[in-house]
Structure 1
Amino acid sequence: MVSALAVVGAGAVLLSACSSGSTGGSNTAFNYLGQTENTTIVGTLKTLSAGECTAENKALPLKATTNPGSSFDQKLQLLAGQNALPNMSMAAGTPSLMKQFISAGKLKDLSSVAGVSDHILPAAKSTIEKLYDTDKLYVLPTEFNIEGIWYNKKIFSDNGIEVPKTWNALVDASVKLKAAGVQPISTDGKDGWPITRLIGDYIFRDLGPNALKDVADGKAKLTDAAYVKAADAVASLGKQGFFGDAVASIDYSTMINSFLTGKAAMMYNGSWVLANFADKSQNQIGEDNIGYMPFPAVSGGKGSIDQVPSNVGVPVTFASKNFDSKVGDWVGCIAKNYGNQVLADSGVVSGFTITKQPSSVSSLTKTVQDVASKTTTSVLWFEALFSAKATTVSSNNASQLVNGSINGSQFMQLVQDAK
């Protein structure tokens, strides 16, 4: 989440396609560069190097280094400009920077590596293609997060509410809950992104899965009436008090706490929140009392409820320079075994196929796996294809939208101007 908001400096190192490396043969180690704060990926790689990927590690020993997440994108820019990207690294958090690397030939197309694509879930592949605007595979999905609405089963049952399948049904349920003295939806207004996720999902359900790509490509504008409609719909939730009081002061931890202590009936979040659900010191309502529902359909919309909002966390990528058979063997081993290992060790759902299901996986994790395995088409989040500046403007003004300080048209104008 943090690296996805990294700002690429105006003085970025220029990338040159003419210096994009080749198969080479100078590798003495399998060099991996990751963010200092992310210990899951490197920990899983080290486990694989001593287990399923022992042979690959013997042929080309794993060597891991780190760089702080706050400057990771800039570090990748510097290395790319010097034609010195490591064999494997965490991908840049800014999609537009990744597209520059791809255009300059800095990254290896992994779909050309035998067997790799067979180990990628269709939904994860769909997400990657949309994120980088390519039908080739330039990253491996070390995570696969679905997003949607988590709800309190008991609160729904006590109030005679069925799981909403349409936006209108969601609004009706929220009206009923508020009348019963229950806060309908817990959200993080301070950071803003859970609110803008609702806007993006509404757009996808109403206008179809390519609606925000049309904006990124200049075929449409956020200020068009059909897009403003989504912002107004979400603003209406705030106007009716469904997010509670003082939404601008609610941060991420408070949002989760309100849901896990039974103070709110619903919460929009990604499947990364399963770690909070599994923590008994936080979860006072119990895992068995939590349900997942996809973002509801918009009546008459061109999108479908089975087009799941998702992301691939921080994926990993491989440099085209010095990509030889030994590096290719590592890639193949990672694609085949990473998903099993990270699920067993860390409980992380990745975008890889699973061939060994741990016995200790929770019912909620199984729900996420089931949704991920059945999904063929995914959609991104509201700001995914916009600039870092537009992301900041969007997040900073989300709470103003739902507390009535600005309307949908004004909000969309601000983001459009920054896009």
Structure 2
Amino acid sequence: MRRTLTTAVAALALCLTVSLSGCAAGSRGVDASDVDPAGSVAPREISWLLSRPADGAVIRTMRELAAEYATSHPGFRLRFITTPDRPSYIQKYETLAAADKLPELFDTDATPFARKLAQHGRMMDAGRLLRSMGLYDRYRPAALDYQRFDDGSLYMIPFEYQAEYFWYNKALFRKAGVRVPKSLDDFPAMCRSVRGAGVTPIALDGQDQWPLERYAVYQPFRTAGPGYVRQLKQNQAKFSDAAGRRSANWLSELGKAGCFQKGFSSVGYADAQNLFTSGRAAVYNIGTWELPSLATTALDPEVRDDVDFFRLPVTTGSVTSADEFVTPSGIGMAVNSRTYDPLVRDFLKFALTRYPARYAAAGELSPTSDAKTVLPRNATPLYARAVAAAGDVGKDTAVPWDTQLDPTSNTKFQQELVLLVQGDISPSDFVSTMDSVIGRNAPRYAK
């Protein structure tokens, strides 16, 4: 989920931040709180700008629902504008936003850029919208909370729900003589033992950068709670604080212990997954979106019965509990207030009312609590256990930092993480660099 802004996009974003009315076409559409506008439903084509797998369950389900809606509303069509590559998508989305050319529906995380759009009334109030449709209370609190801005406001609608676990190979743990770590601080020792048994300790997709960034989240989330990153991105907290230094030191120790495969920074998603599913790596940190690959008979039978999972371990003095970890609801969908009208509302109510059951029937975890996941016919017992564990979560969620930090700081953060784990820079150098980078860039996005 790396974000790279060109000079042109940065200029447009600045234009949006400084003077929206001067950059855009002027006021039109409805107020962001006017979720039930008067008027008749006039079918037409509407568009959804999104960043999701074209063959994924979200798009498949919404395509089916749009077709059903069109049978009773001739002339209606939902057009999917798909850019699965996240960096390219974000560049397109921010460019269109700054030029006031976003379609009726568009994907976004709860980023500083999205917050600017909401502050300028460019996104419908999703909380108010869902309540007006009688749907709000159906959603899992964790799914909605993941989409919220720091002030608690909700402008994005979740279409999925996930839980991120540490999947591990029991046979490889036995071979190395190690047990499931009870604390994050047990990871370096676990890695050294597994490495000593001739096995890669942890499979990591280093090429996409966000998986390594997850590891940077864990120590601060346990020792300081979810508020640390909110303060960090506003330059109200520092990496030089205890939580930041502990994270930097831990990441450095993971590198020294050889936790990740050699050359991890150039290993892609599919190769990292294959390293674990082929039995050549002992641990793989990934979400329940990978259940079809990890908990069905599609998995190699020589590995299948040895795969299990554990949740994010706690630490000494942890301020968050074992049932609080990374439970994302994916990138959210925002509703453009500039193009919102009775048709958009009517279609969304039709689709969102039916979506959870249809989505869960495909073996997915619904963002609502009232739709039970239908296990695939080829599911192993692990599938049901993983789904059940995803429903047993606490109040606090460890949010991915790439949706929190400003884009310039996040890009530098990802680069420095690789150098830190590789041993090319020291923890103190890492801390000093990141405090300097955030100190320069955060104020521009905090305004």
TM-score between the two structures when normalised by the length of structure 1: 0.85
Match of 1:366 among 384, 393, 400: 384
1:103 matched residue in structure 2: 119
Residue 84 and residue 405 in structure 1: after superposition, are their counterparts in 2 closer, same or farther (change >3 A)?
A: closer
**How far apart are residue 212 of structure 1 and its match?**
0.9
Read off the aligned partner of 2:288 and give its amino acid letter.
Answer: S
Q: Using the alignment, how far apart are the partners of 2:178 and 2:375 within structure 1?
A: 33
Q: Does 1:294 align with 2:302?
A: no
1:320-377 deviation line (CA, Å, top 9, x unaligned) = 24534443333233333223223434x4434233425424263454344323322233
What is the DSSP-based 3-state SS (H/G/I as helix, E as strand, rest coil) of the residue aligned with 1:139? coil
Match of 2:135 among 110, 116, 134: 116
- CA contact 1:21–1:83 (8 Å) conserved in 2: no
Read off the aligned partner of 1:342 and give its amino acid letter.
Answer: Y
After superposition, where does 1:316-327 map in structure 2 within 5 Å? 316-327=333-344
- CA contact 1:42–1:64 (8 Å) conserved in 2: no
Read off the aligned partner of 1:139 and give its amino acid letter.
Answer: M
Q: Does 1:143 align with 2:160?
A: yes
1:29 matched residue in structure 2: 44
**How far apart are residue 79 of structure 1 and its match?**
4.8
Residue 286 and residue 78 in structure 1: after superposition, are their counterparts in 2 closer, same or farther (change >3 A)?
A: same
**How far apart are residue 379 of structure 1 and its match?**
1.6
| Structure 2: runs of 5+ lacking an equivalent | 31-36, 439-447
What is the DSSP-based 3-state SS (H/G/I as helix, E as strand, rest coil) of the residue aligned with 1:185? strand
**How far apart are residue 152 of structure 1 and its match?**
0.9
Q: Using the alignment, how far apart are the partners of 1:50 and 1:356 within structure 2?
A: 24
1:238 matched residue in structure 2: 255
Q: Does 1:269 align with 2:267?
A: no
1:379-412 deviation line (CA, Å, top 9, x unaligned) = 2123331122222222223222112111122223
| Structure 1: runs of 5+ lacking an equivalent | none
2:5 matched residue in structure 1: 7
- CA contact 2:277–2:299 (8 Å) conserved in 1: yes
2:73 matched residue in structure 1: 58
2:274 matched residue in structure 1: 257
Residue 288 and residue 122 in structure 1: after superposition, are their counterparts in 2 closer, same or farther (change >3 A)?
A: farther
**How far apart are residue 97 of structure 1 and its match?**
1.8
**How far apart are residue 36 of structure 1 and its match?**
7.5
Q: Does 1:152 align with 2:169?
A: yes
In the alignment of these two chains, the number of paired residues is 411
1:108-160 deviation line (CA, Å, top 9, x unaligned) = 1122223221221111112112xx22423311112223223111122234555
Q: Using the alignment, how far apart are the partners of 2:174 and 2:27 within structure 1?
A: 62
Which segment drifts farther, 276-285 or 158-167? 276-285
Residue 357 and residue 143 in structure 1: after superposition, are their counterparts in 2 closer, same or farther (change >3 A)?
A: closer
Q: Using the alignment, how far apart are the partners of 1:242 and 1:78 within structure 2?
A: 39
Q: Which has the higher contact order (CA 8 A, sep 6+)?
A: 1
Match of 1:394 among 410, 413, 417: 413
Aligned-pair RMSD on alpha carbons?
A: 3.1
Q: Percent identity?
A: 25
After superposition, where does 1:326-345 map in structure 2 within 5 Å? 326-345=343-362
1:266-294 deviation line (CA, Å, top 9, x unaligned) = 12223333344368777565444322211
Which segment drifts farther, 189-198 or 299-308? 189-198
Which segment drifts farther, 192-201 or 275-284? 275-284
1:19 matched residue in structure 2: 27
- CA contact 1:197–1:381 (8 Å) conserved in 2: yes
TM-score between the two structures when normalised by the length of structure 2: 0.80
Q: Using the alignment, how far apart are the partners of 2:391 and 2:147 within structure 1?
A: 15
Q: Using the alignment, how far apart are the partners of 2:370 and 2:294 within structure 1?
A: 22
1:216 matched residue in structure 2: 233
- CA contact 2:278–2:303 (8 Å) conserved in 1: no
Which segment drifts farther, 145-154 or 333-342? 333-342
1:382 matched residue in structure 2: 401
- CA contact 2:122–2:336 (8 Å) conserved in 1: yes
